[in-house]
Amino acid sequence: MTDLSGACGFDTRAVHAGQAFDPTTGAVIPPVHFSTTYAQDGIGGLREGYEYGRSGNPTRTALESQLAALEGGAHALSFASGLAAEDALLRAALKPGDEVLLGNDVYGGTYRLIARILGPWGVGVRVVDMSDLAAVEAALEERPARIVWVETPSNPLLRITDIRGLARLGRAAGALVVVDNTFASPALQHPLALGADVVVHSTTKYLGGHSDVVGGALVLNDDALYEQAKFMQFAVGAVSGPLDAWLTTRGIKTLALRMQRHSENAQAVAEFLAGHPKIVRVYYPGLPSHPGHELAASQMSGFGGIVSAALTDAASARRFAESTRLFQLAESLGGVESLMNYPDEMTHASVRGTELAVPEEVVRLSVGIESVADLIADLDEALDGV
Ligand SMILES: *Cc1c(COP(=O)(O)O)cnc(C)c1O
């Protein structure tokens, strides 16, 4: 298999890493390996290390090679969902009595996993605004944390955190710095190069890119932590199935092109909304008025496809969310089609009433790759009725 890590450009790695042609038939697209078990050449004589589908599968290996190459990491592991990846990492790295310092607008399911599943096993969680490094430093001085966990841009308010600065603080405090890179994707941001220890993905979103496969991944450099997380993947078993891994691999090949179009369309949508009288505030790091604009420009190569907007009140936000036609009202994000979300009652219902609650007047748009004039016309018409 050609080793493309580092040597080639990002777009070349996206197409070729882990994708060498099938040596038996010459098939340019590597086959999907459904077999759950592997014939041994004598007891223990494994070919290429494959033994049983939970411990390893060539289609999953292909995806993992691709993910490691894209994030510039030594190792990647792929899972049945983003939360399965998070769970494996958290259980590999934490023990009872440890604490996680969590950004205050991370994905609601991440908070729920730590607070409600790991909490009863003795893991603590504290929440802080990660875009305020002084607040992070104060929180770490007050009490150590084993993990510092950030999403940047964050969901759904698109806050931007200085990954380099956070990595410095985390390292000084002896904490692992984990970046959920789902929103930016490796096409726009490389947290490991900025000093983070682990990158987490919900590959369900931009990496898969077509809203047709649920998956998750970890990418990291540390050999010992990789072995622990890999053991967790094997011993607990939340692996990606072969067809899921293959679909994700196929999606990733067009990641760079898609992210470019998502970013262009989102910029146009954000500018349109910012100029609309019924919109009170637009959250998009590509707008110069966004407080994290300069920082985003310095650590990302594009601003991504998610735009959030505040209307005057909850009723207006709900009416807007229910009135678009091209933007379909649905959870999730990152697919080629545009989606509309009302976080308070949809994606972020699990954090209602907590420190992570999303303002009731906010809607979140996942801007797709359709013709941007059609997207803007759809939003304009929907706003007329608000
Ligand atoms: C969706 C999402 C997750 C969870 O991933 P699943 O694949 O749904 O388990 C984690 N983080 C972010 C930022 C997400 O958007």
Nearest CA residue ID for atom 6, ligand 1: 82
Residue 67 lies in a domain: yes
Expressed as residue numbers, the domain containing 219 is: 10-252
Q: Dump pLDDT digits (tens) for 277-300.
A: 999 999 999 999 999 999 999 999
Which one of 204, 227, 252 terminates a domain? 252
Q: Dump pLDDT digits (tens) for 98-140.
A: 999 999 888 889 999 999 999 999 999 999 999 999 999 999 9
Mark whether 295 and 240 lie in a shared domain: no
How much is the average pLDDT of 229-244? 98
The total domain count for the chain is 2
Res 3: pLDDT: 53
Q: Dump pLDDT digits (tens) for 13-63.
A: 999 999 999 999 999 999 999 999 999 999 999 999 999 999 999 999 999
Spatial distance between the Cα atoms of 137 and 283, rounded to a whole number of angstroms: 26
Residue 303 has pLDDT above 50, yes or no: yes
Residue 1 has pLDDT above 50, yes or no: no
Q: What is the CATH number of the domain that holds 172?
A: 3.40.640.10
Say yes or no: CB of residue 348 within 6 Å of ligand 1: no
Average pLDDT of every residue of the chain: 96
204 CA to centre of ligand 1 in angstroms: 7
Say yes or no: CB of residue 204 within 6 Å of ligand 1: yes
Which one of 185, 220, 252 terminates a domain? 252
Which one of 226, 252, 278 terminates a domain? 252
What is the set of active-site residues?
54, 107, 180, 205
Are residues 228 and 93 in contact, defined by beta-carbon separation less than 8 angstroms? yes
80 CA to centre of ligand 1 in angstroms: 11
Q: Dump pLDDT digits (tens) for 201-219.
A: 999 999 999 999 999 999 9
Sequence-ordered list of residues with C-beta below 8 angstroms from that of 180, at least 6 positions apart, any chain: 106, 107, 110, 149, 150, 151, 199, 200, 201, 202
Spatial distance between the Cα atoms of 73 and 68, rounded to a whole number of angstroms: 5
Confidence of residue 4 (pLDDT cuts 50, 70, 90): low
Say yes or no: CB of residue 334 within 6 Å of ligand 1: no
Q: Dump pLDDT digits (tens) for 57-95.
A: 999 999 999 999 999 999 999 999 999 999 999 999 999
Mark whether 236 and 326 lie in a shared domain: no
Residue 291 lies in a domain: yes
Res 163: pLDDT: 98
Mark whether 263 and 379 lie in a shared domain: yes
Which atom of ligand 1 sits closest to the CA of residue 151? 13
Are residues 128 and 175 in contact, defined by beta-carbon separation less than 8 angstroms? no
Of all residues in the chain, what percent carry a pLDDT higher than 90? 93
Residue 5 lies in a domain: no
Residue 4 lies in a domain: no
* Phi then psi dihedrals of residue 203, to 5 deg: -70, -10
Confidence of residue 351 (pLDDT cuts 50, 70, 90): confident
Say yes or no: CB of residue 155 within 6 Å of ligand 1: yes
Residue 2 has pLDDT above 80, yes or no: no
Mark whether 122 and 195 lie in a shared domain: yes
- From residue 176, alpha-carbon distances to 37, 141, 166, 321 in Å are 36, 15, 10, 38
Question: Which of 202, 206, 240, 331 best tests ligand 1's pocket when mutated (most atoms within 8 Å of CB)?
Answer: 202
Say yes or no: CB of residue 107 within 6 Å of ligand 1: yes
Q: Dump pLDDT digits (tens) for 306-340.
A: 999 999 999 999 999 999 999 999 999 999 999 99
Mark whether 238 and 303 lie in a shared domain: no
75 CA to centre of ligand 1 in angstroms: 20
Spatial distance between the Cα atoms of 346 and 386, rounded to a whole number of angstroms: 20
pTM here is 0.96
Res 177: pLDDT: 98
Mark whether 85 and 142 lie in a shared domain: yes
Say yes or no: CB of residue 214 within 6 Å of ligand 1: yes
Which atom of ligand 1 sits closest to the CA of residue 204? 7
343 CA to centre of ligand 1 in angstroms: 14
13 CA to centre of ligand 1 in angstroms: 24
Mark whether 243 and 264 lie in a shared domain: no
